[in-house]
Each structure stands twice: as C-alpha cells, then as structure tokens.
Structure 1
Amino acid sequence: MKAVGIILAGGKKSTMGELTAHRNNSAMPIGGAYRVIDFALTNFSQSGVKKVGVISQNSTRSLADHISSSKWWNFGRKNSGIFLFTPDMLSADTFSFRGTADAIFQNIQFLKRSQEPYVIICPGEQVIRIDYNKVIKYHEEQGADITLVCKDMGNESVLDYGVAELDEENRLVGFEEKPLDPQSSTISLGIYVIERQLLIQLLEQLNKEGRHSIVTDIIMRYRKKLKIVAYMFDGYWQTLKNIETLFATNMDFLDPEKRNEIFSNGYVYTKAKDDPPVKYSLGCHIKNSILNGGDIVNGTVIDSVVSRKVFIGEGAIVKNSIIMEGCTIGKGAIVENAILDKSVYVGEGQIVTGTSDNIRVLAKGSIV
C-alpha cells in the first residue's frame, strides 16, 4: 500500500460525561468485544497500510494499553508498526496540541521519515468499514490534491457536522462547519487522502502563519486553490459524539441487517483476551444480546450488549442496556435503558433504570 496512516485520537469529549473521565474516546468499548479505534486500525490493516501514527492528547493510558502490541492488527512486522504520539513526548514548550493540523505538524518527522507517496488521515472514534485502496484509486483518477470521504445523510440532521457543497463532478465548492442553515445534506467524515509532500508543505506554511486546523485552514481556505474532491461513501457509519450515539451504535450491533453491514468487509481485529466461554446457568434467559468471554449469566438478558467478565445474578433482568467489563449485577436486580461503565456493582434487588430518551449512566466503579 502506497500510503501511511494517521489516526487523530484527540481524547476527552465532555458530551460523554463520566465515560471519558478516565479513558480516551477512541478507546471507548463498542459492540461488547471491541474498542472503537479497532475499526480505524482494521481498515488500515486490511487496505495494506503498513505504518500508522496515532496522535492523542487526553486520557492516553487506556489507549496506549490497548494498542501496545501492534501484532493484533497485523502491524507487527519489520517495516510496519503503530506509533503513538502525545504532547509529553515532544521537546517543545507546549504541553498540548492546538488543533488537528498542529497535532500532525508537531509530529511531522513521522511524515518526513516515511517513504509512502500518500497520507490517509482519519478520526479514531468512528465505526466504519472502508477500503482505502478504492479511495486512493479514485483520488488518482480525479487528479486531486485532497480527497475528502463524504456521505449523503439524506433527511437526517447535519447540524453537528462539517457540510460539503459539491459541483456535478464532486469537486468541493463550499464547506461549512456545523452550519445553522445547511445548504447540502453531504457531510465530511473527517477522512482525508493527500500527497505526503503536499501535506508537509501545507503544515509548515500553516505553522508560519499561526494556523492549526485541517478543516478551517486547509479544507476551507484552500478549496479554490487546490483541487479538493469528495469520495462518496454509502456504507454503515457512526461517530461516537455523545451518550446517545454511543448507545445507538451499540444497539446497531444487535440489528442483523446493520451488523452484517458493519462486518461486510470481514473480521474486525482487536486485542485478544484469554477468557473462558460464557457460562449459561440453568434457567437463564437470553434474547437478542451479545455476551463475551468470562460472563456468568444466571438471570435474563434482553436486547443488551454485555462485555467480558460480567456476573448477572439469579432473577436479575438486564434489558436494553450496555454493560461494560467486570460489572456485577446482583440477584433480583433490574437494569434497563442504562450504560454501566467498568466494574460497577449493582446490589441484590437494586433498580437502575433510565428511559429511551434519557439513558442512565453509572460511572466506573460505582456501587448501587
């Protein structure tokens, strides 16, 4: 593959509340067995990208632990690898990145030491399956300077996204970030293909001018000077921007049609865990749910995503919920419309319920 990958795994999102108090958003558990960054890493691996830089700023420990061994994504070879970059690894006076472009600029040696002609930049908090070989082929066919991966959202709201206006040849003619009155239903997914030397030149110029954003200072500012085109993606896509999208994305793993779309390109790679199989006790009841290694189920689980090493007691009911690693749900307890972070303990007979419009969230290590 003639590209190097960069994953922007910024870190903390205030809209995730307690769930990102101790973890990077790109390390958020998803689908029971994965972290959301697994999808970005798998896309790169299956597209033949050999080197991936992960740039992170906040709550990096959970992310570093997950990607510490690159072999799980087939990067553990002689001329490949996953490289984690954080502000405290730099000798500069700053202790933070000032924007997406600045984050890459401060690690520009990674690009200068690479030999691949192209760079693929993507976020670390999206559930998407995409073949970058097709994107690069399109980029070359169009003779583009920059290719954005975009999606037509149809009748869905685009107020929280970067909205692209395209001409009849899919060339970018206008771009607005979170517009109040969007003129298009096409959004940018934050995935870019750009020639490596061009990116280096742009980053060095932006640094001289005190500019720090890919969107504002490259995409919007250079849209007339450079040929920027859109590659239209029509598959499954979700980004974890708040509690509601986290919950909805997990529930999509329980929908057969959406699940098949998520895994349409094959397996999603992740860090392996050596857990025993799920133990289903006599009298338990499971319906339309995902369970994982080390779980012990004595009660009822309906329409839920349950991570590893979870204990569900006799007579307990878990419904329409996300249960993360190491939780204990006691005998006769009820958990419904809720997200339980790691190592939560729900005592015997206790009730933890939210609503479909207001998901109840219990922070890591909570005791009820």
Structure 2
Amino acid sequence: MRNECMGLINLDKKGAPSVSKLSYARPIASIPIAGRYRVIDFTISNMVNSRMTNVGIYAKEKYRSLTDHLGSGKDWDLSRKTGGLCILSPENTKYHNQYEGRNGDIYTILANIDYIDKSEEEYILIAPSYMICNIDYLEALEYHKKSNNDITVIYKNIDNANKDFKGCLTLNLDGNDRVINIGSNLGTFPRANIFMEMYIMRRKDFVSCIYEIVNLGTYSYFQDFITHEINNIQVGAYEFKGYLKCINSIQSYYEMSKELLEPEVSQELLYSNKRVLTKEKNQAPTIYKENANVKNSFIATGCVIDGVVENSIIFRKVHIGKNTVIKNSVVMQNCTIESDVVLSNVILDKNISISEGKELRGDENYPMVIEKNLSI
C-alpha cells in the first residue's frame, strides 16, 4: 500500500526558541533528552510510527550535530532508495538573491521545493522538533481527509496556560472546530488551545501556497500566511489529548526531565507500543559499585556509579565517584564526577569533569546549567 503522507520537520520556525547554553552550538532538535535520545527523535518516531517513509528536515544552521546523530536514517528505518530521510539546507541556492524574505522559513522551503514537488505522497504533514509528544498522525490524517479542510492544524487544550506553554501560539475555535484566529499565549488565562505548530494539507496545495506567497512577496513565514489568510481558507483543528511539552526554554527542558520520572508520563512517551527510535550505541551495562544508591532515576548504559542518585537523569558513560550525591539533576553523556561532589538542581552538558569536593546548586525552578567540555 502506497504511503499517503510525507513528513516535513521544520527547524526554521518564526520565533524559534533558544534553550540558552544548551543550544549555543546545536539546534534544539539535537539537544540530548531522556537519558539516550535527542529532541528530534520524538518527532521522527511519530512520523515513522505513522507509516511515513519520506521525511525531510529543513535545517538552517548549526546542524552538524544533527547530521551526525541522524546519519543515513537507518535507525529509524529511513535509509531507503525511494523516500527515506533527507536533510535540506537553504544555502547557496538559485533563490538566494531572488526572494527578499529569505530570513524566514518560506525561503528555506522554496530553496528545496523540488524535494516536495517530486514526492509522490498525496498529503504532507509539517511539524517542529520541539513539541514533545507521542502522537498517531494517522488519526489526524483521517480526520483531515473527512473534514474537507484546506489545512488541518493540531492542538491541545490545556488548563495551566498561565504557567506552561508561555509564548506558544493559541487557537480560537468556533463550534465546528474551525480556526477563527491565531494568537499568542501571554500567560494571562489558565485554559487555552495550544497550537502544536503541526499542519496537514495536500502536498500539491502546499507547493502552490509557497509559490503564491513568493509571487506576492507578502510573508516570510508560513505561519504568517495561515494567520493572515484565515478568513480566505478553511482551517480546521484536530485535538490531541495526550502528554505534550514544548521545549522552548531551560525551564521547560528541566520540567520535562522531572516529569519523565513520573510513571504515567514515561509509560506514554517511552514505553508504549509506539516506540521512540534513536541512534543505537552499543554500550556495556552500567556498573553499580558498593556505595551506589539510586532512587527514582533514569540511568543509561555504560555508567559507573559509586554514589547517591535521586530524581535524576544520567546519560551514557557517566562516572560518579564515591560519596557523591546527585539530586534533581540532568547529567549528559561522558561526564566524570569525582568523589564527595554535591549536585542539586543542575544540568551538566556533555563531556564535563567535576573535581573532588565541589558543590553546585541551582534553584528548583531555575537550574544551574554548565556548558559542555568544561572542567570545574
């Protein structure tokens, strides 16, 4: 059976968030998360689990770590002769001096429009990398096909918008789940329809929209086209009811890391029948030495632990020395933490060494972040 839908992961979004020290040298898409994954793994896995075999990633900058992680796409079963995984960049194209709005995603898409135009799937789904969820896109696609919408957007209704998802887009809907307008979550009201920045439409219609936008020269971002043309096109909304987190700040990254330690969240995201796929790395099992004491934590493979770890996420190949205490923290791969160290509410990026006797403490709402490749 021919696949009906192709996937497009857009890393060049309007107002794309920056996760402070964790995204200086990498896009949010390749930030390590949940012990062994990268942020983008969730979006790619959702697409693959929804039988999409043609996935494109529009990356604008800082994507070396992303290409290293994704490789040929074989770990996601996307190393294929037809379709498969394709990473696209807008650099040095024939449109570089022809389109004034080249600071937005319209130019990024235009620069590689042939990739979409020559694909065979009838529909296209566009999604960001930083909306973390485990979603069945097949259900959303069926909803779109039955609705006769020009575009179907995906949203989640939440009751804590005054605390979470600040800065994200919101949808105002009528009684028929039609989008009336698109706004921004300023944190004023607790309940809101959070737009997950995911669109479904016919592939040929999407290509036509891009060319129309370019000819008019009116928009730099596809999101702006939807917002301002809402009265001229039929935009419907599909409601997602599962777990959702937007990784758009250090705080949201840290909050999700803590929420992953809740059984119902980890079960939905990581241990359901819809697996999250990632780059396989064969490591030896973790060694728990005589003084190891681990409570309510994720511990990846290849670690050596001789201290206390509580409510924390420890990535691959981390060494934790004797009498060291780590609580409410995230320690990324290849970190070495010597003896008698105390870490509380701390995020350590990759390849960090903490010498004996050091004490690092952050706030429970604003963790201390240590950039990668440092020795303290």
TM-score where L is the length of structure 2: 0.93
SS of 1:234's equivalent? coil
Q: Aligned equivalents of 1:106 and 1:339: distance in 2?
A: 37
Q: Structure 1: any 5+ residue segments left out of the alignment? A: none
Q: Which is further off, 259-268 or 42-51?
A: 259-268
Q: Aligned equivalents of 1:188 and 1:144: distance in 2?
A: 17
Contact 1:118 1:194 in 2 (8 A): yes
Q: Aligned equivalents of 2:221 and 2:50: distance in 1?
A: 27
1:104 deviates by 1.6
Contact 1:129 1:235 in 2 (8 A): yes
Alignment of 1:156-235 (within 5 A): 156-157=161-162, 159-178=166-185, 185-210=192-217, 211-217=219-225, 219-235=226-242
Per-residue CA deviation, residues 27-59 of structure 1 (Å, 9 max, x unaligned), is 011100100100111011111111111011121
Alignment of 1:114-125 (within 5 A): 114-125=119-130
Q: Aligned equivalents of 1:117 and 1:15: distance in 2?
A: 34
Q: Aligned equivalents of 1:177 and 1:216: distance in 2?
A: 13
Alignment partner of 1:131 is 2:136: yes
Contact 1:165 1:184 in 2 (8 A): no
Alignment partner of 1:298 is 2:328: no
Per-residue CA deviation, residues 155-183 of structure 1 (Å, 9 max, x unaligned), is 42254121111111101112113458679
Aligned partner of 1:334 in structure 2 is 342
Change over 3 Å in CA distance of 1:304–1:184 after alignment to 2 = closer
Q: CA RMSD in A?
A: 2.0
Q: Aligned equivalents of 1:275 and 1:97: distance in 2?
A: 43
SS of 2:267's equivalent? helix
Per-residue CA deviation, residues 183-209 of structure 1 (Å, 9 max, x unaligned), is 971121000001111111110011122
Q: Aligned equivalents of 1:48 and 1:364: distance in 2?
A: 36
Q: Aligned equivalents of 1:254 and 1:350: distance in 2?
A: 26
SS of 1:88's equivalent? coil
Q: Aligned equivalents of 1:100 and 1:192: distance in 2?
A: 14
Q: Aligned equivalents of 1:106 and 1:151: distance in 2?
A: 32
1:277 deviates by 0.7
- Paired AA for residue 235 in structure 1: G
TM-score where L is the length of structure 1: 0.95
Aligned partner of 2:326 in structure 1 is 318
1:357 deviates by 2.3
1:274 deviates by 1.4
- Paired AA for residue 152 in structure 2: T
Aligned partner of 1:140 in structure 2 is 145
Per-residue CA deviation, residues 270-295 of structure 1 (Å, 9 max, x unaligned), is 00001111011112100011111111
Q: Structure 2: any 5+ residue segments left out of the alignment? A: none
Contact 1:318 1:336 in 2 (8 A): yes
1:82 deviates by 0.7
Q: Aligned equivalents of 1:199 and 1:102: distance in 2?
A: 14
Q: Aligned equivalents of 1:181 and 1:336: distance in 2?
A: 32
- Which of 353, 366, 369 aligns to 1:358? It is 366
Alignment partner of 1:267 is 2:270: no
Q: Aligned equivalents of 2:208 and 2:17: distance in 1?
A: 33
Q: Aligned equivalents of 1:265 and 1:160: distance in 2?
A: 32
